[in-house]
Amino acid sequence: MSHPSVVVPGAPVELASGVHWIGALDPGMRRFDIVLNTANGTTYNAYAVRGERGVAIIDTVKIEFADEFFARLEQVCSYDEIRVIVLNHLEPDHSGALPELMRRAPRAELVLSQRAPAILKALVRELGTEPEYTPVGDGDAVDLGGRRLAFVHTPYLHWPDTQCTWLEDEGMLFSGDVFGCHFCDDRLWNDTVGDFRFSFDYYYQHIMRPFRSFVLEALDKLELLAPRVILPAHGPLLRSRPRDYMARYRRLATPELGSGGDEKTLLVFYVSAYGNTARMARAVAEGAEQVSKLRVSLFDLQMSDVGQFVDLIEEADGMAFGSPTLNADAVKPVWDLLSSLTLVSVKGKFGAAFGSYGWSGEAVGLVEDRMRGLKMRVPVKGLKVKLNPTEDDLERCRELGRELGAHVTGTARRRVVDIAELA
Amino acid sequence: MPKASVTFEDIGVTVTVPAGTRLIEVSEKVGAGITYGCREGECGTCMMKIVAGSENLAQPSVLEHQVLSDNLAPRAARLACQAQVLGGEIVVRPG
């Protein structure tokens, strides 16, 4: 297939008067950041904005593409014209050429978000000196002479340092990774490239989804700007119907499965070899169901798809995981689910573990550790039972369910313990 | 050994601990929502809010001050992996 490319080797692409794309195409890339696949590569979008008093460079590229970036930059301006370097996000695919750019444009002011300096120090160690920079936030702006770049603080999209830059006179939003995707097409503009809807959603699901509360906070600010063009740091440039992409983000980030009102949700997952952990799981659920305003669901992990459970967990307030111990470990279906939870935010949710075992019962402690590692709260001591649970054991399971349910619904009684009891 | 009490507001649990204990040790054991990363006072993940009794914690080190400053921490914030209990009553919640 051949089509007219707007990207020519060594040449910038003019986006508006005095605004150029000076990034790089990476059509050969197939896996990004270990976890993201891409069927046709990606782009590293960097930009130059010229005012009467100088030029601003917004973002750079991955270091392997620095030559391409500098070749395009040199067609737009000389290094001594560069007044400002703005980094919307310091991840290496956007800051790879930064140390060399700072060497070539030593008089340029480096402008970063207020959360970026700690990351910057680690990135530019090769300069050998502490870089000077100007931290900016909401309300700050740089006057380029006849046009202003204003900054919008949008943290955790998807690093603490992320921000957006707003070119008011053109209605252009330089959004960093937000509204980006891994999709390489040398026609650049969203109304001329191929169909990238899947890539757009896929990027959100893998990069932004764990930070959806921050996405919604950022959208509250960015929608007010009503940008005419959104210029992300990866993928197509969004000049056609840019608000549709904001609306898509809002829909993706808005909770859909929440029960509403003051009802909370608790999910009880289990895997069982001989039915013992299954009986414990049913008892945990029975206990939890005694807690008012708590919706309890019970799931056998062996019979279902992990992806669906990740969606449920994203909306849930609490989870209990039941695993037998096999060879001193929790079982694979439990780990498969627990290792999939980096896609969503579970920070602060309540969790508990339980399970039957034959010899040593390590699974419960290992699952508790994983939940703590996921930044969940694990306030109820896990429960392990050797082989067949007795009626007393099942009552302890019901008590675990009741206690966990009380924490989830905010009705747990206050208690005082000695640290020695917590071992 | 002198004792202190640490209350984790987010889960409603008060733990009696010996002086010298670091808050992260208690938080982990009791299952409170204070999360941790490097555990070495560098990443800032375990930042928490001291609701009451900040005078009952050892003063922050230069390193902890720097990390709190880099993360734009509010005045009542401390790092759970660095803050050591001296005695008395302390009330904390995730930061």
Residue of A308, A360, A316, A306 lying closest to A338 (CA atoms):
A306
Q: Report H helices in A226-327.
A: 242-253, 276-289, 306-315
Residues A74 and A217 in one domain: yes
Residue A202 is assigned to a structural domain of this protein:
yes
Last residue in a domain, options A193, A219, A253: A253
Asked if residues A90 and A123 have their Cβ atoms less than 8 Å apart, the reply is: yes
Q: Do A378 and B15 touch (CB under 8 A)?
A: no
d(CA B59, nearest CA chain A) in Å: 23
Residue A417 is assigned to a structural domain of this protein:
no
Residues A371 and A271 in one domain: yes
Q: Which position has the higher pLDDT, A58 or B93?
A: A58
Residue A6 is assigned to a structural domain of this protein:
no
Which of A115, A347, A375 to substitute to test the interface with B, most B CBs within 10 Å? A375
Max CA-CA distance within chain A?
81
ipTM: 0.87
**Segment A248-263 mean pLDDT:** 80
What is the per-residue pLDDT for A260?
A: 60
Is the pLDDT assigned to residue A259 strictly greater than 70? no
d(CA A408, nearest CA chain B) in Å: 10
Q: Domain range for residue A239?
A: 13-253
* Alpha carbon distance B41, B48 (integer Å): 13
Please list the residues that pair with B14 across neighbouring strands: A416, B7
User: Which chain A residues are within 8 Å of B42, Cβ to Cβ?
Assistant: none
Q: Can you give the CATH number for the domain in which B27 is found?
A: 3.10.20.30
Last residue in a domain, options A220, A253, A286: A253
pLDDT band per the 50, 70, 90 thresholds, residue A1? very low
Phi, then psi, of A77 in degrees rounded to 5: -160, 165
Q: Does B50 touch chain A (CB under 8 A)?
A: no
Q: How many domains does chain A have?
A: 2
Q: Domain range for residue B86?
A: 3-94
Q: Do A377 and B26 touch (CB under 8 A)?
A: no
* Alpha carbon distance B40, B63 (integer Å): 10
Q: Does B29 touch chain A (CB under 8 A)?
A: yes
Residues A231 and A302 in one domain: no
What is the per-residue pLDDT for A286?
A: 98
Residue A2 is assigned to a structural domain of this protein:
no
Please list the residues that pair with A356 across neighbouring strands: A385
Joined together, the tokens standing for residue B42 give: 């560098």
Q: Do B12 and A414 touch (CB under 8 A)?
A: yes
Asked if residues A338 and A310 have their Cβ atoms less than 8 Å apart, the reply is: no
* Alpha carbon distance B2, B5 (integer Å): 10
Residues A103 and A202 in one domain: yes
CB nearest to A412's CB, from B12, B14, B30 = B12
What is the per-residue pLDDT for A166?
A: 98
For the stretch A335-363, pLDDT in tens is: 999 999 988 989 889 999 999 999 989 99
For the stretch B6-55, pLDDT in tens is: 999 988 899 999 999 999 999 988 888 887 778 888 888 889 999 999 99
| pTM score of the predicted model | 0.79
What is the per-residue pLDDT for A119?
A: 83
**Segment A22-45 mean pLDDT:** 88
Phi, then psi, of A277 in degrees rounded to 5: -65, -30
Joined together, the tokens standing for residue A200 give: 């757009």
Q: Do A422 and B10 touch (CB under 8 A)?
A: no
What is the per-residue pLDDT for B40?
A: 85
b/e for A302-319, b at 16 or more Cβ within 10 A?
Answer: eeeeeeebbebbbebbbb
Residues A83 and A36 in one domain: yes
Residues A166 and A283 in one domain: no
Asked if residues A299 and A270 have their Cβ atoms less than 8 Å apart, the reply is: yes
- pLDDT-wise least confident of A26-40, A138-152, A190-204, A408-422: A26-40
For the stretch A367-411, pLDDT in tens is: 999 998 888 999 999 999 999 999 999 999 999 999 999 999 999
Q: Do A407 and B18 touch (CB under 8 A)?
A: no
Q: Do B13 and A414 touch (CB under 8 A)?
A: yes
Portion 75-94 of A in contact with B at CB < 8 A? none
The bridge status of strand A54-58 relative to strand A82-86 is parallel
Strongest mean pLDDT among A32-36, A147-151, B63-67: A147-151
Q: How many domains does chain B have?
A: 1
Q: Can you give the CATH number for the domain in which A206 is found?
A: 3.60.15.10
Mean pLDDT of chain A: 93
Last residue in a domain, options A209, A234, A253: A253
* Alpha carbon distance A301, A332 (integer Å): 10
